[in-house]
């Protein structure tokens, strides 16, 4: 299992459009991927799960992946978050 922490930098937080982008990225991998915010953890491959967290600008989140392609999953999500100016790694 690999865990990585991020700080959300998008002024709008992780609302519908960026959430869709993140979920689409997560679904490209076979690994189980979860996101944790304020002690609540959800499946990052679920748009409803991600939206239920209500992640705002400045929030600290943890993404964890477990499986055969966990490293690729974390790297892909890190790149997506950075390229779309949604979050930065801590």
Catalytic center residues: 15
DSSP label at 68?
Answer: T
Q: Which residue from 66, 63, 77, 72 is spatially nearest to 22, judged by alpha carbons?
A: 77
Contact 34, 63 (CB under 8 A): yes
């Amino acid at each position: 299992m690999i865990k990585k922490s991020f700080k959300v930098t998008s002024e709008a937080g992780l609302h519908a459009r960026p959430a869709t982008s993140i979920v689409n990225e997560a679904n490209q991998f076979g690994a189980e991927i979860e996101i944790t915010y304020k002690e609540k953890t959800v499946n990052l491959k679920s748009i409803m799960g991600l939206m239920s967290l209500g992640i705002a600008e400045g929030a600290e989140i943890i993404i964890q992946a477990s499986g055969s392609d966990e490293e690729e999953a974390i790297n892909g999500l890190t790149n997506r978050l950075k390229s779309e100016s949604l979050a930065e790694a801590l």
